[in-house]
Structure 1
Amino acid sequence: MSTASIEKQTIPSDQQTKTAYNILFIIGFCHLLNDSIQSVIPAMFPILEKSMGLTFTQLGLIGFSLNMVSSVMQPVVGLYTDKRPIPYALPIGLTSSMLGVLGLAFAPSFITILLSVIFIGLGSAIFHPEGSRVAYLAAGNRRGLAQSIYQVGGNSGQALAPVITALILVPLGQFGAIWFTVVAGIAVVFLFYIAGWYSRKVQAATPIKKMAKTTNTKQPAISKAVRNAILVIIFLIFARTWYGSAIANFYTFYAIEKFNLTIAGSQMYIFVFLVMGAVGTFIGGPLADRFGKRNVIITSLLATAPLTLLLPFTGPVVSIFLLALIGVILMSSFSVTVVYAQELVPGKIGTMSGLTVGLAFGMGAIGSVALGGMIDVVGLTPTMISVAFLPLLGFLAFLLPSDQTLREWQFNR
């Protein structure tokens, strides 16, 4: 008998299907707070460049350190907590971020800034896979919606960067980061509540796990079909993340050059893209619950492709509307990809969450460096035209197993 079958027999059916919305909204809010703290780092680049005389290379290293620590450690944390759940890792992670922000506010040198950023990256690496696991546990039979509620918090936090820059960092400078220790402190308080709920879930599941071990002592090896599906997911994440990185990091320069805008005016394009991306993240989950995860993943990339190919050839007004549509459609598959990966390898919720979300962070960091180099070599317009073809990689999503196939695999495990 499989572990899934044992759980169905042991857990009452109403507990399997009931969605804990209070937990989902709290963890989503904490995700917003966590990612708004992360958004402080790139938002501070102009401040640090002026106040400390940092070079663009040093600023690039700060961004690279933040994203790489977060991305590399996420699957490591997920792999460990899949075997040994640590409910109170969530408040511990945000405490690490709080210390990092405190260090950032008072950092006197480039090295201390790097160390502070590493603390923030480590806190984020702990939070993301465990937060995604909480969303999974609280989902009931609405896994797509649950992951959307969780992920939209993070996307909303990232979209706050322009607001943070204008309202806090510009008037207060580097010391303005101190206010985000308050943000982190609020998140820690909420996460202690979440950790208590999570701990009770783990205790309730312990008898089930023991029964599963006596019934099925060996985990089935990941089949070739599953490995191939994971490889396809990696390519899809690459396409979505590199295009998003091109817009978030470099479209502002493109808008200034092509439309003769000011820096403030060009920021509106990025803000619209990020905010509508958060909207897309939210609606993607319910759509996946209704129409299937694979269908949403396919549509997300392929429906975006005509818009991305048109964008470099439009004027300032049409461009902002296209960016809004691209943000909604492209990011509708963000949370869905996480749920799909979790169901592809059941029992490895933290690992697959860490892999998919961490991979997005890591590819975003690499993409930022690679695209910046490409712009230096061939220019802004050729680069924007080139990245517009990335969503066409969505054709690879047709190689993914259907949702029905995933359910059959889960039943037979």
Structure 2
Amino acid sequence: MAQAGLLNSVVGIIHIFLQPLLGYVSDRTARSYLVMIGPILTCLGATFLPSSPTYGMALFLVGLWGVGSATFHPQGHGGVGHVVPQEKLTVSLAIFSVAGNIGVTISPLFAVALAKIVGVEKIPYIAIVPVLILAIAIYRYMPVLSEEAAEFPKNQGGLFHSLFSVLGVIYPVWMVSMARDATSQGIRFFLPIRIVSEGGNISMVGTILFLIMLCSTIAMLISGKLSDRWGKVRVLIFVLIAGPICMIPAAYIGGKTSIILYILGTSLLNSSMPITAAVAQEQVPHSRGMASSIVMGLSWGVANLLTGPLGKLGDVFGITSTMLVVAALPLLALPMVFMKSFRSAE
């Protein structure tokens, strides 16, 4: 269990330290190299992992997987802001996130199908083909994400200067993102424990987690469209309040009603992902990659590390108290929405 936990932690740590670096790099080139290289590295790490002969090799492959993901996302999210009109940024980021969720959902089915057809050992050589085709297509048809490369600031200092200058502008957005991600990951981590403790089985857990992902995907599309029509801040305030309103009572009740409330509340919170990403990019339009790395990668990685202290809280006070704290976290970040970064987003 400890070794499996370390493998899971590796990806979060990589995102914390590597995404800001690669966000910095992506802001200094208009070329699409990172969105081409990232999926290739991710595919190699993920597909060679099942046949890894040793734990050390498995650790390396998980690291490669994490590096690929961290390479792709800053330029991927930032690139959306360069290729779509400003008034359609939120819904476009929602579509981008939905595509990722669909990939996560069908990838296990794809892997099982390949294993049955060609065997586990040959999966990497087959799975890499569509990824390479995609990379070639990007190189051929979208070699440059923005024609504004010549206008990108070149004298903003180094990595840390860029990181802290961007963070100084968008830190309210980052805090909202971190609270949301901590709640989302906390629900996905602790809800299965509660379900099993109440007599549920692994099949029930899998079904509920799938429903959370499915409903979150649909909610992102809805919130993206509503945000571009009615305003990002209004929609964000609604989901930050409505999500906890659903989940706080769910901590005290059981049965199907509790599960429905958790699915609804988590989906509402997750629907804010394209909103916070859009607000962050709008505040620092010449550092879209760095902004995306902070409110997506850095916030996700820090939230991942918070599951440890929350687990300790559960050991001391019980699962109900832990679920209550997890559900209430977005309310603690709600005052951030009224700060300058969000006011100027309207």
Q: Under TM normalisation by the shorter chain, which class is it?
A: 0.7 to 0.9
Matching residue within 45, 51, 67 for 1:122: 67
Amino acid at match of 1:131: G
Q: Tell me which residue corresponds to 2:260.
A: 321
Asked whether 1:75 is paired with 2:75, we answer no
Q: Do 1:90 and 1:126's aligned partners in 2 also have CA atoms closer than 8 Å?
A: yes
Matching residue within 165, 183, 187 for 1:247: 187
| CA distance 1:200–1:345, change in 2 (3 Å) | closer
Q: Do 2:10 and 2:63's aligned partners in 1 also have CA atoms closer than 8 Å?
A: yes
Instruction: Count how many residue pairs are aligned between Structure 1 and Structure 2.
Output: 338
Q: Tell me which residue corresponds to 1:209.
A: 151
Whole-angstrom distance in 2 between the partners of 1:103 and 1:70: 21
Amino acid at match of 1:61: L
Q: Do 1:93 and 1:124's aligned partners in 2 also have CA atoms closer than 8 Å?
A: yes
Tell me by how many angstroms 1:86 deviates.
Answer: 3.3
Matching residue within 140, 145, 162 for 1:196: 140
Tell me by how many angstroms 1:294 deviates.
Answer: 1.8
| CA distance 1:351–1:177, change in 2 (3 Å) | farther
Larger Rg: 1
Q: Tell me which residue corresponds to 1:110.
A: 55
| CA distance 1:366–1:225, change in 2 (3 Å) | closer
| CA distance 1:249–1:164, change in 2 (3 Å) | farther
Q: Tell me which residue corresponds to 2:131.
A: 187
Matching residue within 371, 378, 384 for 2:323: 384
Q: How does 1:297-316 map to 2 (within 5 A)?
A: 297-316=236-255
- Amino-acid identity (%): 25
Matching residue within 219, 236, 239 for 1:280: 219
Tell me by how many angstroms 1:388 deviates.
Answer: 2.0
| CA distance 1:276–1:179, change in 2 (3 Å) | farther
After superposition, give the CA deviation of every residue in 1:331-380 in whole Å (9 maximum; x if it has no partner). Answer: 12101101100111120011101111112330242023333333333332
Tell me by how many angstroms 1:242 deviates.
Answer: 1.2
Matching residue within 148, 153, 157 for 2:94: 148
Q: Tell me which residue corresponds to 1:341.
A: 280
Aligned to 1:335, the other structure's residue is in SS state helix
Asked whether 1:290 is paired with 2:241, we answer no
Q: Tell me which residue corresponds to 2:302.
A: 363
Tell me by how many angstroms 1:83 deviates.
Answer: 1.4
Aligned to 1:72, the other structure's residue is in SS state helix
RMSD: 3.1
Tell me by how many angstroms 1:229 deviates.
Answer: 5.4
Amino acid at match of 1:346: P
Aligned to 1:388, the other structure's residue is in SS state helix
Q: Which runs of 5+ in 1 are unaligned?
A: 1-55, 408-413
Tell me by how many angstroms 1:113 deviates.
Answer: 0.5
Q: Do 2:31 and 2:145's aligned partners in 1 also have CA atoms closer than 8 Å?
A: no
| CA distance 1:181–1:251, change in 2 (3 Å) | farther
Whole-angstrom distance in 1 between the partners of 2:304 and 2:343: 35
Amino acid at match of 1:243: T
| CA distance 1:398–1:124, change in 2 (3 Å) | closer
Q: Tell me which residue corresponds to 2:8.
A: 63
TM-score when normalising by structure 2: 0.86
| CA distance 1:310–1:184, change in 2 (3 Å) | farther
Whole-angstrom distance in 2 between the partners of 1:102 and 1:297: 37
Amino acid at match of 2:209: I
Aligned to 1:86, the other structure's residue is in SS state coil
